[in-house]
Amino acid sequence: GVSIMGIEDEDTLTINGNRHYPLQSVFKFHIAIVVLAEVDKGNLSLNQKVKIKKSDLKLDTWSPIKDKFPNGTNLTLAEIIRYTVSESDNIGCDILLRLIGGTKIINQYFLNNNFKDISIQANEEEMHKDWNVQFTNWTTTNSANNLLKAFYDKRLLSKKSNDFLWKTMIETTTGKKRIKGQLPESTIVAHKTGTSGTNEKGISAAVNDIGIVTLANGKHFIISIFVSNSYENGETNEKIISDISKLTWNYFMNKMN
């Protein structure tokens, strides 16, 4: 699935844009928005300390927090969001979900704000227990683009929260060979990746990347690409994304010249 939107000229393209694709860690962008909305309401603070117990770190899962603090620690909410979005920390993700009251709160937020085709039913721990659970967390590429556009337009969060999440997404360390893979090295990309495991049949359920790309001329395009149920290896799946991203870059740069 592919959805592309030129922000300044509103030129769009979609391929399978309304199909349901498993989000995997792309949902950490959605979760961060809802957490920051609670910060804006005064219910949470970016500076508040959150205790992370050793028992919180027991999952056999991707977690830079666990690697750095194997016996637990205290982190600010801002630090947990950075770990969760920039480094795709699974334990940080589940801590954020617990802080705001679970996945129902996430879904209700997006319903209340008139976003369609977003279903978030399971946390990271639940997804790790059963292959099929990941498919209960889904969206469409069109929906992902619409959310990114609302975020870019600062329609969801305060300026302070928006700027914080923008910086956090620019600092993303995962998926360097996806949207950013073939773009000029200095390109600013605010993005969030998602990646599943591979099952015994050799199927990768999800290799995803969604983001906002700043072109060399200062204009922007939004792009969401979900590669789902692929028999290709990880390198090929990532190249599919980077090829489409590069073609999009070339299109908009040539169009502007």
Q: Which residues are catalytic?
A: 25, 124
- In angstroms, the CA 227 to CA 16 distance is 11
For residue 213, which of 244, 243, 188, 184 has the smallest C-alpha distance?
188
CB of 66 closer than 8 Å to CB of 84: no
**Residue whose structure tokens are 């929260």:** 161
DSSP 125-149: HHHHH-GGGGGGSEE-HHHHHHHHH
- In angstroms, the CA 20 to CA 206 distance is 12
CB of 214 closer than 8 Å to CB of 154: no
